[in-house]
């Protein structure tokens, strides 16, 4: 794979963390939706009583095993529309050639089939075990690899294709290592934007996984009128009888990850005990993302349009009271902080933002791999970011590593364990 060269001349628009304004982003991408099979974009905001904008993009041609409805959120309708569109580009370009019904062009990265034991003698390689494999794994078994670029070491690196494509089926006699997912998949106006947001997503899922595994939400953020937009977003939820608890998760970097946990006290619906998460160098943006994603999660549950989850039937079978007890740590009182207590390490350019993230990661991991999934026929850059050893418990309960297990875990009360329901006495 060619070296990923970060354009250091790009700058954010003043007062934003984007290189293009919303109107420009919308104009340059909306006409390309047909190329990736999107047939419709719709506002689903009014399905909920809150009013925080949520949009859906519908792509009926998605690959077998992938979802076809992609949701997006934002503080404005334009932001939410763009968010859902970008997810559509991400999901489409994560499908490999042959399973992608809309884009025949392949990615530029080279592919290799070899065992880990053999590949590591001639290449820098991501050790499959560092990706927290739950299944039995033989380092001499054949694995499909895709070439990527390690941003920390500045060198080419082979990444298991299983961690790159979604959905993923191992070809021929190669081993499938785990269920594929979309962690670290990101699109942007430029590849620099995509890389930055892919890095943040992997960090967000890592922090959230550690918090969920150990049942430790960190510190509770108290918003005031001084928090402006974020305070108004919180008020939209609370004015509609939705309890919101906002948490700054513990992490071994200074990158802020926030969770907004919500409880609809009017409906008392187990399926609406949802949350949103966001990570960013700027704490205000992390909080905003968490709040808008919580609103998105509500609408998605109400809409019932996501084919990738059986959560609704599961939680309603268990019941509101029990689900809330199982997740009580998100709703209990915590140590209080204000948003100003969180460290803002945001920068004024995409390159500097990527540098800031990598500087934080260097004390935690020795690899941050990027695989470029962009196609020349689709003018929206898409990447997959893979950070070995970072946790995925929030996406896959079977994949738990040392980072999560090293925390002090609070045990779930015996009567609240969902797998005990219906057990014979």
What pLDDT digit, counting tens, does each position of 142-187 carry?
Answer: 999 999 999 999 999 999 999 999 999 999 999 999 999 999 999 9
pLDDT number for residue 3: 85
pLDDT number for residue 314: 74
Residue 350 CA: distances (Å) to CA of 16, 114, 201, 246, 383: 11, 36, 16, 27, 15
Angle at 330 between CA 227 and CA 273, to 5 degrees: 95
- Angstrom distance (rounded) from CA 134 to CA 132: 6
Q: Beta partners for 378? A: 375
Residue 79 CA: distances (Å) to CA of 59, 90, 96, 292, 348: 19, 16, 28, 11, 21
pLDDT number for residue 419: 53
Q: Above 80 in pLDDT, residue 417?
A: no
Residue 363 banded pLDDT, cuts 50, 70, 90? confident
The answer to whether 110 and 147 are in contact (CB under 8 A) is: yes
* Six token digits for residue 171: 């070809």
Measured in whole angstroms, how far is the alpha carbon of residue 407 from the centre of its chain? 22
Q: Which of 231, 235, 211 is nearest to 223 (CA)?
A: 231
| Percentage of the chain exceeding pLDDT 90 | 89
pLDDT number for residue 425: 34
Measured in whole angstroms, how far is the alpha carbon of residue 83 from the centre of its chain? 13
The domains located in the chain, with CATH, are 22-104 (3.30.160), 214-341 (3.30.160.660)
Q: Which residue has the higher pLDDT, 103 or 1?
A: 103
Q: Above 90 in pLDDT, residue 1?
A: no
pLDDT number for residue 46: 97
The answer to whether 160 and 128 are in contact (CB under 8 A) is: yes
Q: Above 90 in pLDDT, residue 14?
A: no
Q: Which of 387, 382, 356 is nearest to 369 (CA)?
A: 387
Q: Above 60 in pLDDT, residue 308?
A: no
E runs forming strands in 256-311: 256-264, 275-280
Q: The pTM is what?
A: 0.95
What mean pLDDT comes out for the span 271-299?
Answer: 97
Distant-in-sequence, close-in-space partners of 245: CB < 8 Å, separation ≥ 6: 217, 220, 260, 261, 262, 330, 331, 334
E runs forming strands in 230-375: 242-248, 256-264, 275-280, 336-337, 369-372
Residue 423 banded pLDDT, cuts 50, 70, 90? very low
pLDDT number for residue 407: 81
Listing from the earlier edge strand, what are the strands of the sheet with 54-58?
A: 40-43, 54-58, 69-73
* Average pLDDT, rounded, for the chain: 94
């Amino acid at each position: 794979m060619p070296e990923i060269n970060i354009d250091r001349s790009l700058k954010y628009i003043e007062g934003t963390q984007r290189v293009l304004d919303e109107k420009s982003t919308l104009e340059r991408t909306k006409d390309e939706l047909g190329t990736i099979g999107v047939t419709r974009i719709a506002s689903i905001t009014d399905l909920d009583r809150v009013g925080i904008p949520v949009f859906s993009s519908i792509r009926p041609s998605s690959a077998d095993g992938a979802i076809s409805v992609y949701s997006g959120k934002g503080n404005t309708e334009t932001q939410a529309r763009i968010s859902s569109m970008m997810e559509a580009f991400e999901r489409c370009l994560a499908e490999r050639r042959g399973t992608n019904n809309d884009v025949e062009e392949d990615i530029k990265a080279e592919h290799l089939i070899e065992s880990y034991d053999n590949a590591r003698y001639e290449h820098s390689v991501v050790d499959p075990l560092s990706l927290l494999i739950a299944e039995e794994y033989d380092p001499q078994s054949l694995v499909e690899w895709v070439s990527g670029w390690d941003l920390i070491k500045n060198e080419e690196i082979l990444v298991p294709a299983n961690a790159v494509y979604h959905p993923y089926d191992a070809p021929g006699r190669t081993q499938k290592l785990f269920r594929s997912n979309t962690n670290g998949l990101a699109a942007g106006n430029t590849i620099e934007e995509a890389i930055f947001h892919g890095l943040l997503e992997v960090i967000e899922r890592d922090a959230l996984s550690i918090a969920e595994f150990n049942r430790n939400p960190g510190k509770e953020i108290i918003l005031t009128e001084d928090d402006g937009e974020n305070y108004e977003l919180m008020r939209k939820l609370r004015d509609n009888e939705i309890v919101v608890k906002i948490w700054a998760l513990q992490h071994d970097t200074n990158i802020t990850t926030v969770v907004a946990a919500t409880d609809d006290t009017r409906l008392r619906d187990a399926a609406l005990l949802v949350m949103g998460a966001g990570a960013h160098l700027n704490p205000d943006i992390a909080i905003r993302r968490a709040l808008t994603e919580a609103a998105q999660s509500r609408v998605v549950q109400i809409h019932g349009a996501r084919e990738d989850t059986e959560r609704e039937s599961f939680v309603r079978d268990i019941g509101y009271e029990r689900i809330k007890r199982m997740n009580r740590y998100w709703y209990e009182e915590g140590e209080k902080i204000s948003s100003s207590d969180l460290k803002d390490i945001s920068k004024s350019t995409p390159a500097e933002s990527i540098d800031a993230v990598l500087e934080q990661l260097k004390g935690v991991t020795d690899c941050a791999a990027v695989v470029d999934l962009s196609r020349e026929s689709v003018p929206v850059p898409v990447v997959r970011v893979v950070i070995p050893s970072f946790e995925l418990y929030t996406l896959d309960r079977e994949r738990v590593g040392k980072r999560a297990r090293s925390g002090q875990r609070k045990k779930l009360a015996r009567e609240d364990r969902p797998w005990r329901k219906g057990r014979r006495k």
